[in-house]
Amino acid sequence: MSTYRAPLKDMKFVLNELAGLGEVGKLPGYEEATPDTVDAILEEASKFASGVLDPINYSGDQEGSKWADGAVKTPKGFREAYKQFCEGGWNALPFEAEWGGQGLPRLVSTPVQEMWKSSNMSFSLCPLLTQGAIEALLLRGSPELQRRYLPKMVEGSWTGTMNLTEPQAGSDLSLVRTRAERQGDHFLISGQKIFITYGEHDMSENIVHLVLARTPEAPEGVKGISLFVVPKFVPNADGTPGKRNPAKCASIEHKLGIHASPTAVMVYDKAVGYLVGEENRGLEYMFIMMNAARFAVGLEGVAIAERAFQRALAFAKERIQGRDLVQGAQGTNAAVPIIRHPDVRRMLMLMKSQTEAMRALAYTTAAAMDYAHKHPDAEARKQHQAFVDLMIPVVKGWSTETGIEVASLGVQVHGGMGFVEETGAAQ
Amino acid sequence: MADGVNFIVETKDPRVSFAGAVPFLKLMGIVAGGWQMARAALAAEKGLTGGDRPFLEAKIATARFFGDQVLVQAPGLRDTVVKGSPAVMALSEEQFLAA
Ligand SMILES: Cc1cc2nc3c(=O)[nH]c(=O)nc-3n(C[C@H](O)[C@H](O)[C@H](O)COP(=O)(O)OP(=O)(O)OC[C@H]3O[C@@H](n4cnc5c(N)ncnc54)[C@H](O)[C@@H]3O)c2cc1C
């Protein structure tokens, strides 16, 4: 099976020649993103992806996460890899220095995250969900909530989740029914959530659930949904994880893929929760944050396409089958590597060219996010934000759909072996 | 792409314009991707002297392939949006059961 190698040459080409890393590094607050520092970060990240995450990608998918009695055991090696990930500062990389992060532009965290997703999609979902929860707290959490939760979550010792979906409320979140009853300075949350990524696991000392729910007075529909923080262990005054909250994992799903990533059914039975921002504005906050999440999912399409291409290319160079069209006609009878055949070449080129196009669009959009955030001129910020708003659905929709097409071509390049788990193409 | 945008903006029946939404998104992706690959080819050409020739030449050839094999889908997708959308809602829900 082929080992993942980060496409550093292409990543650097896109960063420097297309997305304008040099200019982004001049924005106030991003001065640390010099070409040398960025090179060093990419080199180190690629070592972590190839050396730590890639080796447990296939085994993790085969073993899967296991549920027993409310607890979830992640596959062999995941706990240790996550510990190393946090100790190496990788979890903190995308966040502001104020909270223990490295304050790097999104343009730099984007290729790094592409590497996590390519080398081990299941693993990468844990920090992804933590990032979403952190962004919600940064956006609207009270100073008290921020002080209590952000340092642990940025460091990675506490992970985060997003609890939107319920059995009757998927795309249509106006149908959310989970209840929140006020009790003094907090709320008691009751209801069932489904499909909660990393809703329960054994890699961190606490899990911070961000939950959409309704207060008793809330109006019907989307205007009556509030956002709450519901910790697995309610933190003590000194910040250590305290009493176990009745926020329980009832089961995990048996899925088509990403078997190592636990997808939990969560049951809340009067669990202690704290309001984020104002009542009835939860969905609005969630959607601001969803923009970052959509971008990240689009990047998953790029990452899966890259991984599929690398496997297909390695196979096409090794597999000997059929004669060379020109030499064969001249009487040479030796079978050749299948990369020699025009149709295999066409598939490899479709994989390569679309992956590179998606990467270029995603990184260019990441740079626009940095400008929209930090450009000194308000008009320029507005223009970049307009570009971001236009491109995010494209990065998300087009890259994920194309990611599937590219992965499917990868299976085809492998012939019959593409249908067999061992090669990794099916994964 | 302009044809697709005009169609979506001008179509009165929202069911017809929504029927073209995903093909339009794909059109947008392919055109935006083509735009980026064209920028990549120009940047690669500029860097050729003194640069990493095998990588940069491959980039130019890859951009060419994207144009010749992927970007060429754009007119078909435009037609899918503009001419194909009304066909989407042609069957009644009952007709799906008739088979
Ligand atoms: C692996 C995995 C991880 C997940 N992780 C999380 C998580 O961490 N947190 C969380 O809250 N949720 C999570 N989800 C749930 C996910 O957000 C929902 O599956 C998604 O919102 C779709 O909802 P649904 O499954 O109910 O599908 P439905 O909403 O029932 O959709 C069914 C089909 O109808 C289409 N459809 C629905 N409404 C419309 C419309 N108005 N117009 C056109 N088409 C429409 C959809 O596109 C889809 O094709 C996860 C799901 C999966 C599979």
Q: Is B27 on the interface with A (CB under 8 A)?
A: no
Rounded distance between C-alpha atoms, residue A249 and residue A271, angstroms: 13
Q: Do A353 and B59 touch (CB under 8 A)?
A: no
pTM (predicted TM-score): 0.97
Residue B55 lies in a domain: yes
> Is there a contact between B69 and A9 if contact means CB atoms under 8 Å apart?
no
Number of domains present in the structure of chain B: 1
The answer to whether position B63 is within a domain reads yes
**Cβ-defined contact of B29 to A356 (cutoff 8 Å):** no
ipTM above 0.90, yes or no: yes
Residue A171 Cβ inside 6 Å of ligand 1? The answer reads: yes
DSSP label at A352? H
Predicted local confidence at residue A105, as pLDDT: 95
The range of the structural domain enclosing residue B14 comes to 2-85
Pocket test for ligand 1, best of A159, A195, A265 (most atoms within 8 A of CB): A195
pLDDT tens across A184-235, in order?
Answer: 999 999 999 999 999 999 999 999 999 999 999 999 999 999 999 999 999 9
- What's residue A287's pLDDT? 82
Mean pLDDT, rounded, of chain A: 96
Looking at residue B15, the DSSP 8-state letter turns out to be H
Size (chain A), residues: 427
What is the amino acid identity at position A297?
A: V
B99 belongs to a structural domain? no
Q: Measured between CB atoms, which of A14, A346, A394 is closest to B32? A: A394
Is A162's C-beta closer than 6 angstroms to any atom of ligand 1? yes
In a domain, B9, yes or no: yes
Pocket test for ligand 1, best of A163, A165, A259, A396 (most atoms within 8 A of CB): A165
Domain presence at residue B74: yes
B98 within a domain of the structure (yes/no) = no
pLDDT tens figures, A341-399: 999 999 999 999 999 999 999 999 999 999 999 999 999 999 999 999 999 999 999 99
Distances (CA, A) of A386 to A198, A283, A382, B29: 33, 21, 6, 17
pLDDT digits 0-9 by tens, A54-101: 999 999 999 999 999 999 999 999 999 999 999 999 999 999 889 999
Cα(A263) to centroid(ligand 1), Å: 13
Q: Indicate if ligand 1 lies below 6 Å from the C-beta of A204.
A: no
User: C-alpha A392: how far from its chain's center?
Assistant: 15
In a domain, B11, yes or no: yes
Tally of CA atoms within 13 A in the half-sphere of A360 that contains its CB: 28
H-helix or E-strand spanning residue A195: strand A186-197
With CB atoms and an 8 Å threshold, state whether A358 touches B70.
no
- Distance (angstroms) between ligand 1 centre and the Cα of A194 equals 11
In a domain, B64, yes or no: yes
**Cβ–Cβ gap B25/A397 under 8 Å:** yes
Q: Is A163 in the pocket of ligand 1 (CB under 6 A)?
A: yes
Distance CA A60, CA A220 (A): 43
> What domains does chain A contain, in order, with CATH numbers?
8-152 (1.10.540.10), 158-281 (2.40.110.10), 285-423 (1.20.140.10)
